[in-house]
Amino acid sequence: MTTHLVWFRADLRVKDNLALAAACRDRHARVLALFISTPRQWEKHDMAARQAAFMQSHLHSLQHELAEKGIPLLFVEVDDFNASVGAVKEICEEHDVTHLFYNYQYEINERQRDAAVERALPEVTCQGLDDSVMLAPGSVMTGDRQMYKVFTPYKNAFLRRLREDLPECVAAPAVREGGALSDTLKPLTLTYPQQDFDPSLFPATEQAAVERLRAFCRNEVGEYEARRDFPALDATSRLSPCLALGVISPRQCLHRLLAEQPDALDGGAGAVWLNELIWRDFYRHLMTWYPDLCKHRPFIPWTERVQWQSQPEHLQAWQAGRTGYPIVDAAMRQMNNTGWMHNRLRMITASFLVKDLLIDWRIGERYFISQLIDGDLAANNGGWQWAASTGTDAAPYFRIFNPTTQGEKFDKHGEFIRQWLPELAKVPAASLHDPWGWADKQGVSLDYPRPVVDHKQARAATLAAYETARKS
């Protein structure tokens, strides 16, 4: 009898899982599943404690879902990716595995690990699949077979591909011949530090994620374009943690969107949310084409020469939400307290760190990953390099957000700010974005820091630093 092993990584689901479906295609094969915990590797990659707790919850859910299909989930813990190579080899030898199936991860350490596993298993047929994207890397290219460096032409080519042929969603596998497994399953416990997450905000099972996706595409996505930039509104899908760990697939998102909003491919309702899914593929495709993006290097070489400031007190103020700029501080406290931050606020806070405080974007990128329940290297790196004007199709370096006017524009009446900055409760809404301007006129003291920098002066210093780097 042939034995198929499915190696789960960032794809913790049974529906539309390409590796699982491929392993189960032969209904006579014995199918086993494997998850390898690598706490020291996760520590090196700064994985957030809330993301570890989210992973723990979904591993438990996956174990039970697989058991219902008659597939046992083996669990192994080793230090890092190097040690996981030997772990996979041992499992394959112990269980006489003939075929190994896994879904690709596109980060460089993960790709090197997978290559090492294939070299270590010359007698095992290994099959990797492009599961975490809608379209495989290398399938959306320029006419001369280069990777697009600008998003809009990439998006247009991507949409043409989708109109020609939608990627398939595969069903969850049927129950194996031996039937469902016993309910007495051994608990799977990650030793990585964990921090509680709010399951009312983030779906804690695969089925809850699917239900959230359906509800969003049916009831909310039509208003997404008009409402998505206002953090006081509950107007986003909040599915990014599920996408980061593969609890749902981007193809499921695409098909559910088109089932509810059939004109989304042609600019109709849902097109803007689809745009965000395409950005996600774009950053993954870029990472396979330019692996240096995994090595903390900027896409635009001259930006490596920017002379960053080293001011620990400014960094600490930013991390703690104590910069004196209310929209920045409220955003940082939202992330510190929930493990998630609204996308508009990610842009505002990243711009502030880099272009008001002139602190290296890589420090901010690392802090975000250490806090975010939806931590994802490709998307996080892409977003930070966009804000820092160091990446592909990034904001020009001379485009610098004014944190005060950003707050006035996207949280005009301060509902979001008041939620996270209770110390500003007595400040009138009209003055909330410049609380000290009001307090000084009123002769009032606030338990809130004054701005750590003057935006106008900081902007001039940042422009000078970038211009010097560009010309040197």
- Dist. CA 344–CA 411, nearest whole Å: 11
CB 326 within 8 A of CB 435: yes
Structure token pair of residue 431: 């003055």
What are the C-alpha distances in Å from 315 to residues 87, 212, 264, 420? 40, 36, 41, 19
Residues 6+ apart with CB under 8 A from 431: 437, 438
463 known member of a binding site: no
Residue-level length of the chain: 472
- Dist. CA 79–CA 258, nearest whole Å: 42
Structure token pair of residue 22: 């491929």
283 known member of a binding site: yes
- Helix, strand, coil content of the chain in percent (nearest 5): 50, 5, 40
Report the SS3 class of residue 453.
coil
374 known member of a binding site: yes
Residues 6+ apart with CB under 8 A from 42: 52, 192
- Dist. CA 264–CA 261, nearest whole Å: 6
213 known member of a binding site: no
CB 367 within 8 A of CB 319: yes
What are the C-alpha distances in Å from 311 to residues 308, 314, 318, 359, 361? 9, 5, 11, 8, 14
What separation, in Å, do the N-terminal and C-terminal C-alpha atoms of the chain show?
A: 65
What are the C-alpha distances in Å from 465 to residues 21, 299, 308, 400? 52, 18, 8, 13
- Dist. CA 233–CA 45, nearest whole Å: 32
310 known member of a binding site: no
163 known member of a binding site: no
279 known member of a binding site: yes
What residues act catalytically? 276, 279, 308, 343, 361, 384
238 known member of a binding site: yes
281 known member of a binding site: yes
240 known member of a binding site: yes
Stated as kind and residue range, the H or E segment containing 378 is helix 377-387
What are the C-alpha distances in Å from 307 to residues 302, 399, 454? 11, 18, 19
Residues 6+ apart with CB under 8 A from 251: 16, 134, 167, 168, 169
102 known member of a binding site: no
220 known member of a binding site: no
318 known member of a binding site: no
356 known member of a binding site: no
Type of residue at 332: M
What are the binding residues?
Answer: 224, 236-240, 273, 276-283, 374-376
Binding residues for FAD are 224, 236-240, 273, 276-283, 374-376
